[in-house]
């Protein structure tokens, strides 16, 4: 049997059966050491899969840190340390320096540090980042309670539109298109919500594969049904302009588009903090599956081995 026959998530199920550790399945792995809860996570960016060599290398470095910080804050933590493993072909030293400038800039922004790494030679470039964070209270995917409201930290679908624009490889882009491209190249992890999540959320994760597929993971882990309100899903003005120009549906981009790196979390509605960036997009109900308004929907999103 090939991996493509069972998909990324089918493979993870088999790995879980071998490892036998029930905590596998959240954005980070919480590990208690003395009285501290540390959060461990890793994520890999692979050339021609996640980025192209034509992208600015500093943006690739920024993103490698950001996607890991996003997992740490999704679980209510703050990032501390990172190790960077590089697989490198023989390439310009400038490129690698640019990569590390992006990594350093992101670490300064998020308040974490690179404390080591490793370099190996390979056919294509890959950046595998391991990160450690800490939290006062770990919040994973399985705690959503009936009656909770579902919140998202920002607009969805921008990154996918930005990727599509990048792949057009046009000479000129309009200002709103450049802002969408920027969202794809340099996502910012929502460190502003980490404390709120740690204090109030019952369940939390980040949106990396697309809203519909990530909501499904949260609903499955918590054994609940989640109902999304289509008119409440935040859509940026830039995505509206993009969809108008190309005859697309922004809600579809929000539901299916990946790599938003916004946070998805649940808690009672009363805990909403109007001073934070959080949008009420759904509710947690008894049952299973996900509903968009009154219709059940099938999750669609990114699976690394399967094209849906």
- Return the number of other C-beta atoms located less than 10 Å from residue 14's C-beta: 12
Q: Residue 213, interface with Mg ion (CB under 5 A)?
A: no
Closer to Mg ion by Cβ: residue 71 or 216: 71
| Shortest Cβ 11–Mg ion spacing (Å) | 17
Q: Residue 209, interface with Mg ion (CB under 5 A)?
A: no
Rg (CA), the chain: 19
Nearest residue to the partner Mg ion, using Cβ: 27
Closer to Mg ion by Cβ: residue 6 or 42: 42
Q: What is the DSSP string of 104-138?
A: HHHHHHHT-EEEEEEEEE-SS-EEEEEEEEEESS-
Residue 4, CA distances (Å) to 27, 64, 107 in order? 23, 25, 35
DSSP 20: -
| 98-106, 201-209, 234-242, 287-295 -> range binding Mg ion (CB under 5 A) | 201-209
Q: Which of 28, 60, 71, 217 binds Mg ion (CB under 5 A)?
A: 71
| 126-134, 135-143, 200-208, 254-262 -> range binding Mg ion (CB under 5 A) | 200-208
What whole-number distance in Å separates Cα of residue 101 and Cα of residue 266?
36
Closer to Mg ion by Cβ: residue 23 or 178: 23
**How many positions of this chain bind Mg ion (CB under 5 A)?**
4
Closer to Mg ion by Cβ: residue 165 or 255: 255
What whole-number distance in Å separates Cα of residue 69 and Cα of residue 260?
13
What whole-number distance in Å separates Cα of residue 99 and Cα of residue 60?
6
Q: Residue 238, interface with Mg ion (CB under 5 A)?
A: no
**106 phi/psi in degrees, rounded to 5:** -65, -45
Element at 243 (helix H, strand E): helix 237-246
Q: Residue 216, interface with Mg ion (CB under 5 A)?
A: no
| 23-31, 103-111, 130-138, 281-289 -> range binding Mg ion (CB under 5 A) | 23-31
| Shortest Cβ 24–Mg ion spacing (Å) | 13
Q: Residue 66, interface with Mg ion (CB under 5 A)?
A: no
Closer to Mg ion by Cβ: residue 127 or 165: 127
| Shortest Cβ 206–Mg ion spacing (Å) | 4
Q: Which of 66, 68, 208, 222 binds Mg ion (CB under 5 A)?
A: 208
Q: Residue 177, interface with Mg ion (CB under 5 A)?
A: no
CB 193 within 8 A of CB 185: no
Q: Residue 159, interface with Mg ion (CB under 5 A)?
A: no
Q: Residue 206, interface with Mg ion (CB under 5 A)?
A: yes
What whole-number distance in Å separates Cα of residue 43 and Cα of residue 67?
7
- Return the number of other C-beta atoms located less than 10 Å from residue 8's C-beta: 14
| 32-40, 58-66, 153-161, 208-216 -> range binding Mg ion (CB under 5 A) | 208-216
Long-range Cβ contact pairs of 1-8 (< 8 A, separation 24 or more): 3/305, 4/305, 4/306, 7/303, 7/305, 7/306, 8/303, 8/304, 8/305, 8/306
| 19-27, 104-112, 218-226, 284-292 -> range binding Mg ion (CB under 5 A) | 19-27
What whole-number distance in Å separates Cα of residue 46 and Cα of residue 225?
35
| Shortest Cβ 294–Mg ion spacing (Å) | 29
Q: Residue 27, interface with Mg ion (CB under 5 A)?
A: yes
The residues of the shown chain that bind Mg ion, judged by CB under 5 A, are: 27, 71, 206, 208
């Amino acid at each position: 049997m090939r991996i493509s026959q069972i998909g990324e998530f089918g493979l993870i199920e088999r790995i879980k059966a071998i490892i036998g550790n029930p905590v596998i399945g959240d954005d980070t792995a919480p590990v208690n050491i003395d009285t501290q809860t540390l959060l461990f996570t890793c994520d890999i960016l692979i050339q021609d899969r996640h980025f192209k060599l034509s992208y600015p290398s500093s943006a690739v470095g920024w993103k490698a840190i950001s996607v890991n910080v996003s997992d740490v804050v999704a679980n209510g933590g703050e990032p501390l340390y990172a190790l960077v493993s590089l697989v490198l072909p023989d390439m310009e030293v400038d490129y690698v320096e640019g990569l590390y400038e992006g990594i350093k800039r992101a670490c300064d922004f998020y308040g974490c540090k690179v404390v080591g790494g490793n370099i190996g030679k390979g056919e294509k470039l890959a950046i595998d980042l391991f990160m450690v964070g800490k939290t006062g209270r770990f919040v994973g995917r399985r705690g959503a309670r009936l009656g909770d409201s579902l919140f998202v930290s920002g607009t969805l679908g921008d990154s996918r539109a930005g990727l599509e624009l990048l792949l057009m490889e046009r000479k000129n882009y309009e200002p709103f298109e450049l802002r969408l491209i920027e969202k794809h190249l340099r996502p910012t992890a929502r460190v502003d919500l980490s404390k709120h999540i740690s204090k109030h959320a019952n369940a939390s994760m980040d949106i990396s594969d697309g809203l519909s597929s990530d909501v499904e993971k949260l609903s499955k882990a918590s054994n609940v049904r989640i109902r999304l309100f289509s008119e409440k899903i935040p859509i940026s003005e830039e995505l509206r302009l993009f969809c108008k120009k190309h005859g697309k549906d922004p809600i579809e981009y929000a539901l299916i588009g990946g790599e938003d790196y916004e946070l998805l979390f649940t808690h009672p509605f009363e805990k909403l903090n109007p001073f934070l960036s959080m949008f009420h997009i759904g509710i947690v109900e008894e049952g299973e599956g996900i509903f968009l308004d009154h219709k059940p929907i099938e999750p669609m999103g990114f699976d690394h081995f399967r094209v849906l």
